[in-house]
Chains A and B, each alone.
Chain A
Amino acid sequence: MSAARTENASVLSHALKDALLASIVAFGLFILLLGFLIGDARGGMGLTQRPALLASVIGIVFVGRFLISLLYYNAPALRAALTRAWTAILDLATQYKTALVLLVVAIAIGWIFFAPAQWPLVVMLVATLLVGISLGFSAAFLVFAILFPVAFYDNPYYLGIAIIVLTYVMLGWGLNIVVGLAGLLDLGYVAFYAVGAYSYAIIAQMYGWSFWACLPLAGLFAAFFGILLGFPVLRLRGDYLAIVTLAFGEIVRIVLLNWVSFTNGPNGIGSIPRASFFGIPFNAEENGFAATFGLEFDPTHRTVFLFYLILALALITNWVTLRLRKLPVGRAWEALREDEIAVRSLGINPTNTKLTAFAIGAMFGGFAGAFFATRQGFISPDSFTFPESALILAIVVLGGMGSQIGVAIAATVMTASFELFREFEQFRLVIFGFAMVGIMVWRPRGLISTREPTAYLKERKTISVEHVAEGRG
């Protein structure tokens, strides 16, 4: 009896010690992350201390860890039950993936709106983490992106960076079709970005068409230019193809620079119509967005709208790519990347396959270009120089050619770190260069280099003895 009591006491003290340790770690982790907030104050920057937030987070960690070590590690039956429950939840989660993501997002948005001002970030991170654990990395990325503007509503700087990042994610995904899937090295992708941007700017100014009418047109023009580039380079591969596409990018830029009567040359095109909320403009007037929906006017509305617009465009790019990969044309692209002669010997027309890759890749570049034009309100040939192409290509290559999530990570890291290292000015490119060299040394085929099969086979692979014996072939 007394022995049992001593054991109980030791379990309790063990759990307490464990929880205390976890709290100390949590304190170390969160003191800088949550404890202090640098923000605008009267006459410059100010430091706000947030002891209540810090204390509550550490409290959660302490209680949680205490309960886990008390219940979980000391009760095998409970542990088994919890494991079973967790597996059941995971199964359910994978089954109703979309519904779950939407639910988490809905709850989180609601919570963020009604929670006190300090909490949005925490709620966003918790929601991301939850989805990440149960559904994996891609879903977490998506939830993070959807919640981002809600959590950072007060921070236009971050929103701006996020929009840039998403633009590059979309460009990366677009170029991924050409480079990653079809294996055609394209160094002039920015040309399609430019064509999209200029076609939006010129059509919108000349004819006063809305963004939604111009968007498909911009994509169409870019796709047309993609085919225009595709025809002369059909017989080229590798280095030779790269040189011609590089030249193509430059030609487009130089034409934009010199065709002053049409493109306004180096002065660029200004006062491009801004995107409206399906016809409702974002302004302080009576028919504006804020007034229509009974809100107080706030310029951030437009930024948030732009954020969701580019997020949707990028997701469409991703969705279309994933779909196409499962269709004959997408599989033909990948086969073309692997072996052109084999593709031809299977009766697939390599000409059409290459042209569709160029056209569809270019189309998404054109969409991104139209978005860029409406966001900036001003475009000039300076925005479409070779380094842009190189950056987009680097995103695709570093991400692992053909991997959608790899490209998204690479785009995020590259563009966001470019912004974050802004203070280091001259060293930015050096760091950038070192990072590239590092990745190429340690992960020569990109961050995520495994290719996902497009056809999943339900049966698990069984490796029988017989199989192993025969397998040497």
Chain B
Amino acid sequence: MTTPLLSIKGVSAFYGSIAALKGIDVEVMPGEIVTIIGANGAGKSTLMMTICGNPQAREGQVIFEGRDITHMPTHEIMRLKIAQSPEGRRIFPRMTVYENLQMGAAVAQDGDFKSDLARVYSLFPLLERRKGQRGGTLSGGEQQMLAIGRALMSRPRLLLLDEPSLGLAPLIVRQIFSAIRELNRKEKLTIFLVEQNAFHALKLAHRGYVMVNGRISMQGSGRELLERPEVRSAYLEGGR
């Protein structure tokens, strides 16, 4: 077995005295799409934020490429080969699409800006056509594409996606998910996906984890989880 790209070992995180994560163990292998699904408040986004060091884990370890990043400040973690498309997209509304993408490449050391840009444009051709437009004037789906594109500009080995389907129409969700699948297939990019849309996420992912109240309650391959009756009843019935 190869070594995992990202491993989370017994991580607990707190907001004040309230435990949001209670001993989480998750592993992400190179080239995999791994998803975390769960209800509102299960701690999915907190787990994502803990990987990025905000809040930092109080117990346990987060290891990326064999390096302990548990107590590194956020901006230093993001300078490793990790990139994040944060929850709620958080693009820069008054900057143009092009400038947003430039910001994504701000800390890329060995990147070639032009080829990175071409790569993002070929993945999301819409962004190229909108490059002179201000981020805030884009539609929700376009903003999500921009957020993912911006994250890709730093040439990550691990892409963290926090609820890319949030507030988007089903058609657009499908577009974005197929772009994610393409990234993984063509470039062997490792993707860690946090999603509420369990059906789409599990269909896309190689492996998945189900989170309930700050703990991992189930894990398995995407297909396996999709067929489990408890998953179906809790997250899928009517959730389609």
Interface residues of A (CB under 8 A from B): 328, 331-332, 334-335, 338-339, 341-350, 451, 453-455, 457, 461, 467, 470-473
Cβ contacts under 8 Å, B139 to chain A: 471-473
Min Cβ gap B137→A in Å is 11
Determine whether the beta carbon of A335 is less than 8 Å from that of B75: no
Interface status of B78 (Cβ within 8 A of chain A): yes
Interface status of B179 (Cβ within 8 A of chain A): no
Determine whether the beta carbon of B107 is less than 8 Å from that of A348: yes
Interface status of B41 (Cβ within 8 A of chain A): no
Nearest 4 pairs between A and B by C-beta? Answer: A473-B139, A347-B78, A347-B107, A473-B141
Cβ contacts under 8 Å, A339 to chain B: 90-92
Per the CB 8 Å criterion, the residue count for chain B at the interface is: 38
Beyond A339-B92, A473-B141, whether A345 also contacts B74 by CB under 8 A is yes
- Once bound together, how far apart are the Cα atoms of A470 and B172, in whole Å? 11
- Once bound together, how far apart are the Cα atoms of A332 and B92, in whole Å? 11
Interface status of B52 (Cβ within 8 A of chain A): yes
List 8 A-B residue pairs with CB atoms under 8 Å apart, sorted by A's residue number: A332-B103, A338-B95, A339-B90, A346-B78, A347-B75, A348-B103, A451-B134, A455-B96
- Once bound together, how far apart are the Cα atoms of A99 and B171, in whole Å? 55
Cβ contacts under 8 Å, B91 to chain A: 339, 342
Interface status of B60 (Cβ within 8 A of chain A): no
Min Cβ gap A466→B in Å is 9
Determine whether the beta carbon of A345 is less than 8 Å from that of B132: no
Interface status of B118 (Cβ within 8 A of chain A): no
- Find A342's partner among B86, B98, B107, B172 (CB 8 Å cutoff): B86
- Find B150's partner among A334, A346, A457, A473 (CB 8 Å cutoff): A346
Min Cβ gap B200→A in Å is 18
Determine whether the beta carbon of B94 is less than 8 Å from that of A451: yes
Cβ contacts under 8 Å, B92 to chain A: 334-335, 338-339, 342
Cβ contacts under 8 Å, A348 to chain B: 75, 103, 106-107
Determine whether the beta carbon of B107 is less than 8 Å from that of A344: no
Determine whether the beta carbon of B78 is less than 8 Å from that of A457: no
* A344, A345, A349, A471: most-surrounded residue (chain B CB, <10 A): A345
- Once bound together, how far apart are the Cα atoms of A347 and B93, in whole Å? 19
- Once bound together, how far apart are the Cα atoms of A455 and B52, in whole Å? 30
Interface status of B104 (Cβ within 8 A of chain A): yes
Min Cβ gap B132→A in Å is 5
Min Cβ gap A347→B in Å is 4
Interface status of B140 (Cβ within 8 A of chain A): yes
Q: Which of B72-128 contact A (CB under 8 A)?
A: 74-79, 84, 86, 90-96, 98-99, 102-104, 106-107, 126
- Once bound together, how far apart are the Cα atoms of A343 and B54, in whole Å? 13
- Find B103's partner among A335, A470, A472, A473 (CB 8 Å cutoff): A335
- Find B102's partner among A331, A341, A472 (CB 8 Å cutoff): A331
Determine whether the beta carbon of B107 is less than 8 Å from that of A457: no
* A328, A346, A461: most-surrounded residue (chain B CB, <10 A): A346
- Once bound together, how far apart are the Cα atoms of A328 and B86, in whole Å? 21
Interface status of B46 (Cβ within 8 A of chain A): no
Nearest neighbor of A464 in chain B, beta-carbon distance: B129
Cβ contacts under 8 Å, A345 to chain B: 52, 74, 78, 84, 86, 90
Determine whether the beta carbon of A342 is less than 8 Å from that of B90: yes
Nearest neighbor of B153 in chain A, beta-carbon distance: A346
Interface status of B183 (Cβ within 8 A of chain A): no
Beyond A348-B107, A470-B126, A473-B139, whether A455 also contacts B102 by CB under 8 A is yes
Cβ contacts under 8 Å, A467 to chain B: 129
Determine whether the beta carbon of A344 is less than 8 Å from that of B99: no
Interface status of B197 (Cβ within 8 A of chain A): no
Determine whether the beta carbon of B106 is less than 8 Å from that of A349: no
Beyond A346-B103, A346-B154, A461-B132, whether A334 also contacts B95 by CB under 8 A is yes
Min Cβ gap B11→A in Å is 19
Cβ contacts under 8 Å, A471 to chain B: 139
Cβ contacts under 8 Å, A454 to chain B: 99
- Once bound together, how far apart are the Cα atoms of A473 and B125, in whole Å? 13
Determine whether the beta carbon of A335 is less than 8 Å from that of B95: yes
Cβ contacts under 8 Å, A347 to chain B: 75-79, 106-107, 154
Determine whether the beta carbon of B103 is less than 8 Å from that of A331: yes
Interface status of B131 (Cβ within 8 A of chain A): yes
- Find A346's partner among B98, B104, B126, B132 (CB 8 Å cutoff): B104
- Find B132's partner among A331, A341, A457, A472 (CB 8 Å cutoff): A457
Interface status of B142 (Cβ within 8 A of chain A): yes
- Once bound together, how far apart are the Cα atoms of A348 and B54, in whole Å? 15
Cβ contacts under 8 Å, B138 to chain A: 473
Min Cβ gap B105→A in Å is 9
Cβ contacts under 8 Å, B84 to chain A: 345
Q: Per-residue 0/1 for B189-202: is the Cβ within 8 Å of any A Cβ (1 yes, 0 no)?
A: 00000000000000
Cβ contacts under 8 Å, A332 to chain B: 103, 106
Contacts A332-B103, A334-B95, A338-B93 known; 5 new A-B pairs at CB < 8 A? A334-B92, A338-B95, A344-B54, A453-B132, A473-B172
Cβ contacts under 8 Å, A470 to chain B: 126
Nearest neighbor of A472 in chain B, beta-carbon distance: B139
Nearest neighbor of A353 in chain B, beta-carbon distance: B75
Cβ contacts under 8 Å, B52 to chain A: 345
Min Cβ gap A354→B in Å is 12
- Once bound together, how far apart are the Cα atoms of A471 and B145, in whole Å? 13
Cβ contacts under 8 Å, B150 to chain A: 346
Cβ contacts under 8 Å, B77 to chain A: 347
Determine whether the beta carbon of A473 is less than 8 Å from that of B140: yes
Cβ contacts under 8 Å, B79 to chain A: 347
Q: Which of B127-175 contact A (CB under 8 A)?
A: 129, 131-134, 138-142, 150, 154, 172
- Once bound together, how far apart are the Cα atoms of A202 and B52, in whole Å? 49
- Once bound together, how far apart are the Cα atoms of A453 and B137, in whole Å? 14
- Find A328's partner among B54, B74, B93, B106 (CB 8 Å cutoff): B106
Beyond A457-B98, A472-B139, A473-B141, whether A331 also contacts B75 by CB under 8 A is no
Cβ contacts under 8 Å, A335 to chain B: 92, 95, 103
Min Cβ gap B69→A in Å is 13
Cβ contacts under 8 Å, B54 to chain A: 344
Q: Which of B43-85 contact A (CB under 8 A)?
A: 52, 54, 74-79, 84
Min Cβ gap A336→B in Å is 10
Min Cβ gap B166→A in Å is 14
Determine whether the beta carbon of A350 is less than 8 Å from that of B95: no
Min Cβ gap A463→B in Å is 9
